[in-house]
Copies of this chain bind each other. A is one copy, B any other.
């Protein structure tokens, strides 16, 4: 049994990590969050030390590090806002633990270099959550694609409605979240590179606080993509059915079915990580680099390669 500590335990994504820790038979010993509304902890254990200041959390982990081996913290789960991920991974490594960090591991690729150096110094590891890579249907799809070197036409559409709170929160601040492509898109970009190889070229047609759209040329695919958090972008059919999310990936016009099997992907990632098969910095790098490049790209005029929703 491994001891875990959790940073950002009061946030939206933390419960999936808490459950993954529990489901893999491990123990939560400490947690921190600047806000103190963390009654969620009581669902897991009544013995979790809680700190509303990162400094006091760090002091506690330092104390455990120097204490009896049974108390050592082996993993720190990082569930804080994106722009703090690397600082909190560093905290983990410094107190002698490995980090398991929510996506995106970092916002800017050069922060990965820094993390790699600290990995080397501390002999500890930083892992991240690339959960689509452990999704059974997608693993199967990948296998089927490996047999050929054909180039595919891919269309990625992801529209997930968010109310005004989203823009008020850190998620709406590109310096803190990386913006729409990074915050809601990075999983899909990682998936596409994992399926179709690395990037040959990038074009961005549109970019604002609520939506981004572009074209990516991968080794074995031409990808048109459209990402949005604005409910007005939902297709008519979705609106009529009162759906608030529309997610579609087509390969050569055929829909990839992966809406099932999402319930416990965090747990699978934890299982893999604990078994020594976690996703590390090198795995995270391509999608961090790509979303960075998308964020910095100049806007191109809409052309034939653009996503159909843009051309309307």
Q: In chain A, residues 160-215, which have Cβ atoms closer than 8 Å to a Cβ of chain B? A: 161-166, 168-170
A303 within 8 A of partner (CB): no
From A37, A48, A111, residue with most partner B Cβ within 10 Å: A37
Say yes or no: A164-B37 contact (C-beta < 8 A), given A62-B114, A114-B63, A244-B42: no
**C-alpha gap A231/B42 in the complex (Å):** 11
The 8 Å CB contact of A88, one of B36, B37, B55, is B55
The 8 Å CB contact of A41, one of B46, B83, B165, is B165
The 8 Å CB contact of A12, one of B31, B39, B51, B118, is B39
Integer count of this chain's copies in the complex: 4
User: Which residues of B are found within 8 Å of A48, using beta-carbon distances?
Assistant: 163-165
A10 within 8 A of partner (CB): yes
Closest B residue to A39 using CB positions = B12
A247 within 8 A of partner (CB): no
User: Which residues of B are found within 8 Å of A24, using beta-carbon distances?
Assistant: none
A-B contact pairs, 21 of them (CB 8 A): A10-B35, A31-B165, A36-B165, A36-B168, A38-B165, A39-B162, A41-B163, A42-B161, A42-B163, A42-B244, A45-B163, A46-B162, A48-B164, A48-B165, A51-B168, A52-B169, A55-B84, A55-B87, A56-B87, A59-B87, A66-B114
